[in-house]
């Protein structure tokens, strides 16, 4: 049998075993990175919702704010109607394993006025299950940054 081609059953089993081990290592590595990935996703989500609130304030000519409660997995966008704020849509949930650790803004809310400036400003701290944090900062001019 000097000209036999192909793989033997034993060789095929070895290759499949190695592939399954490598796939298992990849899945475990991905699971270890999940809290960090969710933290980055949560920070980007908050940044986008704050920018949307600013845009609504400018286009609708009314004050908008986003309320953040410490220790919560959700936050709420609100629109000013007369002298009071009312919810604008449903509460937004952060990705699994992330929470709002702190909000330094007055009243735990970042607000925007019709000119695009921030009526109240500060830093929102988001924490994951590994105690890593991201800070989303809004300055008085209404600029939103994450670090």
Instruction: Report domain extents, the chain.
Output: 9-146
Weakest-pLDDT range from 29-38, 81-90, 105-114, 121-130: 29-38
pLDDT at position 4, please?
A: 64
Taken in order 138, 142, 144, 147, the sign of the CA dihedral is negative
Sheet holding 98-103, edge to edge: 98-103, 122-128, 133-138, 144-146
pLDDT at position 119, please?
A: 96
**Residue 66: closest CA among 77, 55, 54, 80:** 77
pLDDT at position 112, please?
A: 98
Q: Are 112 and 54 in contact (CB under 8 A)?
A: yes
Provide the CATH topology of domain 9-146: minor pseudopilin epsh fold (3.55.40)
Cβ-based neighbours of 39, under 8 Å, separated by 6 or more: 98, 126, 127, 128, 132, 133, 134
pTM over 0.85: no
pLDDT at position 109, please?
A: 98
pLDDT at position 3, please?
A: 65
- Rama region for 118: left / alpha / beta (φ>0; ψ in -120 to 50; rest): beta
CA–CA separation, 56 and 89 (whole Å): 13
Mean predicted lDDT score pLDDT of the chain = 92
- Residue 1, pLDDT > 60, answer no
pLDDT tens track for 68-107 = 999 999 999 999 999 999 999 999 999 999 999 999 999 9
């Amino acid at each position: 049998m000097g000209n036999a081609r192909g793989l033997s059953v034993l060789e095929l089993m070895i290759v499949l075993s190695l592939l399954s081990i490598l796939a298992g290592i990849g899945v475990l590595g991905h699971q270890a990175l999940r809290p960090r990935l969710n933290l980055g996703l949560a920070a980007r989500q908050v940044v986008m919702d704050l920018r949307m609130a600013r845009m609504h304030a400018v286009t609708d000519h009314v004050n908008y704010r986003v309320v953040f409660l410490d220790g919560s997995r959700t936050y709420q966008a609100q629109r000013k109607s007369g002298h009071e704020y009312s919810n604008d849509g449903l509460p937004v949930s952060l990705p699994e394993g992330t929470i709002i650790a702190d909000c330094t803004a007055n009243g735990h809310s970042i607000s925007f006025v019709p000119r695009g400036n921030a009526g109240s400003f500060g830093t929102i701290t988001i924490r994951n299950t590994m105690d890593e944090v991201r800070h989303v900062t809004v300055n008085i001019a209404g600029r939103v940054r994450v670090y």
